[in-house]
Amino acid sequence: MVSPVRVLPNAAQRATSLLRTIQYTHPPSCPCHSNPGYHQNSLAGLIPRIKDAGQRRYATPGDNSGLQEYAFEMAASAIRFGPGVTKEVGMDFKNMGSRKVCVVTDATVDKLDAMKQVREGLTKEGIRFDVYSEVRVEPKDSSIKHAIAWARPQQYDAFLAVGGGSVIDTAKLMNLYTAYPNADFLDFVNAPLGKGLPVDKPLKPLIAVPTTAGTGSETTGTAIFDLVEKRAKTGVAHRALKPTLGICDPLNTRTMPAAVKASSGLDVLCHALESWTAIPYNQRVPRPTNPILRPAYQGANPISDIFSLHALRSTVKYLPRSVRDPDDFEAQNEMLLAATLAGIGFGNAGVHLCHGMSYPISGQNPGYKHAGYQVDANIIPHGVSVAVSAPAVFRFTSQSNPERHLAAAEAFGVDITNVKKESAGEVLAEALIKFLADLGDQPKGLKDLGFGNEHIEALVEGTIPQARVLMLAPGLSKELEREKDQLRLLFEDAMTH
């Protein structure tokens, strides 16, 4: 009798299997975060009330202010992945019983095949829909408010986002603020720039169809925008914002220009690196007094690590190929998968300094317009603003956990056999610099973006408010003046590489 041959699953199949397990055991409708009737005991003074929310009722907290975290949570959107799955979106809304859908996109994507597939799918199933196509790339608070005002009177029972991270993030906030029609805009915005209130009731179903391979926004509860008055990027982060379903169709990323592929892929790279090197979840302080207050960004944990490291390895392997050859379907497919997996990783573990520093970099743009972006305004694409500081950042963070930084360098192909721990940061920084140079058309530091030493103080002040990500940065001081000194040195180091 011949013994059966066991076929081992490949990395993508293993990751998909793990994601299915997570979704089965922790579905998007988590009772601790989206059921307003779950907590029945009054908790006066714990969280301010939103004007239209009525009396909030929460479990009674203890005093955990001096305690470290002891638990982590894993949550992700349901994901459907495969070439051609966009055409199924009409059936999804039909299955949900949706009658009137708000379709959110931008002017460029509105002309592409993805939107053609969406229109045909919704029409075929008899779903009424309106299209909002005025999303701004790298949205500002003004463009978000415009989108919210457009959607609020319409009484939509579901939302569909078709586009990159800017589109998906805008749709998340349209969904949130239509559910709270009398809320002030800053009520849910991350503290300290906003009040950072939790979302205490279910939102409408949201399906996200990414057309770029980068943000991972189809899996996360995070939405980012420029708060112009403060000259800083911020956003809203809560598990309730997670899309109900992410439809990841590799056919939709074929039309990305090479510059957009590169920038989007660098966002994936930094998502993976930052979540892999974030402080461990059980070192975060304070322990939440109530599970509804446990942040979406929790620190590195055993499950997020799997997704982050896999995404890092895939990005190093496939991003250069996808940028060089638009017909390399394997590379395009693997980069979309890497973006989604990195989204699951950082959506639970969080990012830290590269992203925290990137927000003032893009928000305080001195006049740079990245080649290959067909937009009228000056723009530092998000992935570019994140990656430009990465060599400096990982030199700084390496002392906290050199083994992890060496493992990251190994993912870039570095032979780490004889590398000393104290050299981990420099080795990873050199690997990043080489990767950026080989990718092509990337700034070699902040000076190439038009920044100089005279801008450092403003960049530091724009980074300080990013508390939700800075708290996850290894080695960053909790004492304000010391923290500012460290950030000044980081921005100085990031001027050239």
* pLDDT per residue as tens digits for the range 270-307: 999 999 999 999 999 999 998 888 888 999 999 999 99
Q: Is 421's pLDDT higher than 90?
A: yes
pLDDT per residue over 391-400, tens digit each? 999 999 999 9
Chain region(s) in the chain for CATH 3.40.50.1970: 78-252
As a whole-number percent, the residues of the chain with pLDDT over 90 amount to: 77
pLDDT computed for residue 29 by the predictor: 41
Question: Between 1.20.1090.10, 3.40.50.300, 3.40.50.2000, 2.40.37.10, what CATH number should domain 258-494 receive?
Answer: 1.20.1090.10
Tally helices (H) and strands (E) across the chain: 17, 8
| Overall pTM surpassing 0.95 (yes/no) | no
Chain region(s) in the chain for CATH 1.20.1090.10: 258-494
Q: Is 153's pLDDT higher than 90?
A: yes
Q: How many C-beta neighbours within 10 Å does residue 75 have?
A: 21
249 by Cβ neighbours in 10 Å (0-12 / 13-18 / 19+) ranks as: buried
Inter-residue contact 267 to 215 (CB < 8 Å) = yes
pLDDT computed for residue 40 by the predictor: 32
Which of these, 211, 213, 187, lies nearest to 200 by C-alpha position? 187
Topology classification of domain 78-252: Rossmann fold (3.40.50)
- Least confident stretch, 59-73, 205-219, 267-281: 59-73
pLDDT computed for residue 335 by the predictor: 97
